[in-house]
Amino acid sequence: MFSIIGIVVVFGCIVAGYLMEHGNLKVLVQPAELLIVGGAALGTVLISNPVHTLKQMISGLMGAFGSSKYGTQRYIDLLKMMYELLQKARKEGLVALETDIEEPDKSPLFSKYEDFMKQHHAVDFVCDTMRMAVSGGVEVFDLDQMLEADMEVHHQEANEPVSAMSTVADSLPGLGIVAAVLGVVITMGALGGPPEEIGRKVAAALVGTFLGVLLCYGLVGPLAARMGKMADEEHAFMQVLRVTMIAFLKGVAPIMAVEIGRRTVPGHVRPSFTAIEEACRGARTEAKAAAAADAGADAGADAAVAG
């Protein structure tokens, strides 16, 4: 939302200032110049990037116009889910997690957290890590190093479309100069004609430079920066998962592992200690209610068989 507001502010202020100087908006409408600058920029994207990066760019641009997915409530839900998972592992043993981590889509535990299930990389990150913990044979230190490498690879991949967008932004002023030079070439061919015609052609040439600089610093560059921040937010989210799981596997109690994870949440969205404590208390209450319901169902089944 703020990205859209920012774009409106940028273009609105430029147009308003231009009109305050009694400029003519029709002069800025130069489809040929826009085609040269925009088309050439699109061509550079196609030349320098593989198909999967292009898909990531489209996805990243769509996400840049929305709000952040990683708010305080998202982290509360994440830490609550991790508490439930780790508490189950502590009470019933790591082997009890096999049904959850092998088929997370069918897991009663994971299915309660729809937002988390939509983030497939995070789901695989948790399930694959706990699967290795269940299998055994891997030291916690080595597992931590593997998680760090996994996060680094994913973060680098997430930054590929950001680098591509930054490259496009850097090329736009130069492409604007190309459009301006072509306009000057056309103008030189019209020398000797009416002054008004020469003036229009010079104005059209300058609009090419204007478009290149404006799109670079007012649109594409900021969008690339926004995409980079989105990648950093996802990396921070994964870091919380990593720290929480490693703390538990080192022998820390689930509630303390969750607290360690909370301390790694970025400060501006970090939930309070009280909020996490209440969420974990709610998880314990839900677990007791579910256990009581299961016990009642089993008792009813036994009575029916006895009858």
Residue 290 has pLDDT above 80, yes or no: no
Question: Alpha carbon of 286 to those of 87, 112, 114, 222: distances in Å?
Answer: 13, 12, 17, 45
Q: How far apart are CA 9 and CA 273, in angstroms?
A: 38
Which whole number is the average pLDDT over 67-84? Answer: 92
**Rg (the chain; Cα; Å):** 28
Q: What is the pLDDT of residues 137-168, one digit of tens each?
A: 789 999 999 999 999 999 999 999 999 999 99
Residue 306 has pLDDT above 90, yes or no: no
Contact 66, 231 (CB under 8 A): no
pLDDT of residue 294: 55
Residue 75 has pLDDT above 70, yes or no: yes
Q: How far apart are CA 173 and CA 168, in angstroms?
A: 10
Q: What is the pLDDT of residues 14-48, one digit of tens each?
A: 999 999 988 888 888 889 999 999 999 999 999 99
pLDDT of residue 86: 93
pLDDT of residue 197: 83
pLDDT of residue 41: 94
pLDDT of residue 301: 47
pLDDT of residue 291: 55
Residues in the chain: 307
Q: What is the largest CA-CA distance in the chain?
A: 110
pLDDT of residue 293: 57
Name the DSSP letter for residue 95.
Answer: G
Specify the long-range contacts of residues 36-42, CB closer than 8 Å, at least 24 apart.
Answer: 36/175, 36/178, 36/179, 36/182, 36/208, 37/172, 37/175, 37/176, 37/178, 37/179, 37/208, 37/211, 37/212, 37/215, 38/215, 40/175, 40/178, 41/168, 41/171, 41/172, 41/175, 41/215, 41/220
pLDDT of residue 155: 93
pLDDT of residue 14: 92
Q: How confident is the model at residue 73 (pLDDT cuts 50, 70, 90)?
A: very high
pLDDT of residue 191: 78
Which whole number is the average pLDDT over 190-201? Answer: 81
Which whole number is the average pLDDT over 254-261? Answer: 94
pLDDT of residue 3: 87
Which whole number is the average pLDDT over 282-302? Answer: 61
Q: How confident is the model at residue 196 (pLDDT cuts 50, 70, 90)?
A: confident
- One-letter amino acid at 13 equals C
Which whole number is the average pLDDT over 269-294? Answer: 80
Which whole number is the average pLDDT over 51-75? Answer: 90
Q: How confident is the model at residue 292 (pLDDT cuts 50, 70, 90)?
A: low
Query: What phi-psi label fits residue 194: left (phi over 0), alpha (psi between -120 and 50 degrees) or beta?
Result: beta
- One-letter amino acid at 176 equals G
Per the structure block, which two tokens stand in for 87?
Answer: 């508490």
Which whole number is the average pLDDT over 119-127? Answer: 93
pLDDT of residue 117: 92
| Other CB atoms within 10 A of residue 10 CB | 15
Average per-residue pLDDT for the chain: 88
Residue 302 has pLDDT above 70, yes or no: no
